[in-house]
Amino acid sequence: MCIIEWLDPPMAAGNWVPELVGLAGGRDPLGTPGAHSHWIRWDDVIAADPDVVVLVPCGFTLDRIVAEVESPALRNRLKMLRAFRERRVYAVDGHHLFNRPGPRLVDSLEVLADLLHPGMFAFPATTRFARRL
């Protein structure tokens, strides 16, 4: 699972987010627990070929993330990923769940568990804050 905090150029999640991925049962090959989020290249994401991609750009609404993914440049990059082919690319409201720590960290963890393990959970936060792309 890769958590992408910015789209162009992409930014890998850092700080507490990779730990949340681990607690949900996944591993983010591009994020480093406790380290700051950092710039990467789409080639890095393509090389990692994650099974799940979660897009959480800071300050973007779900509708804006969906619109950005429709741009040819981003769409063509995502098409190279196994996660895209398996319909496991998601937009998630990062503003409410991932871009800052707070009481909603439990909701963030639930959403990640839901996305990583389809059919095992049905958390309300996933319905409210996430959308399959």
- Per-residue confidence band for 100, with pLDDT thresholds at 50, 70 and 90: confident
Of 101, 15, 89, the closest CA to residue 45 belongs to 89
pTM: 0.95
Residues 5-11 have a mean pLDDT of: 96
Q: For residue 30, give the 3-state DSSP assignment.
A: coil
* 3-class DSSP assignment, residue 36: coil
- Is residue 46 within 8 A of residue 78, CB to CB? The reply is no
Distances (CA, A) of 76 to 13, 18, 97: 22, 26, 27
Distance, in Å, from the CA atom of 1 to the CA atom of 10, rounded to the nearest integer, reads 15
**Residue with tokens 């963030």, as numbered in its chain:** 108
- Choose the weakest-confidence range: 94-98, 116-120, 122-126, 129-133: 94-98
Q: Tell which CATH architecture fits domain 2-132.
A: 3-Layer(aba) Sandwich (3.40)
What confidence score (pLDDT) does residue 80 get? 96
Would you kindly state where each structural domain of the chain is located, as residue ranges?
Answer: 2-132
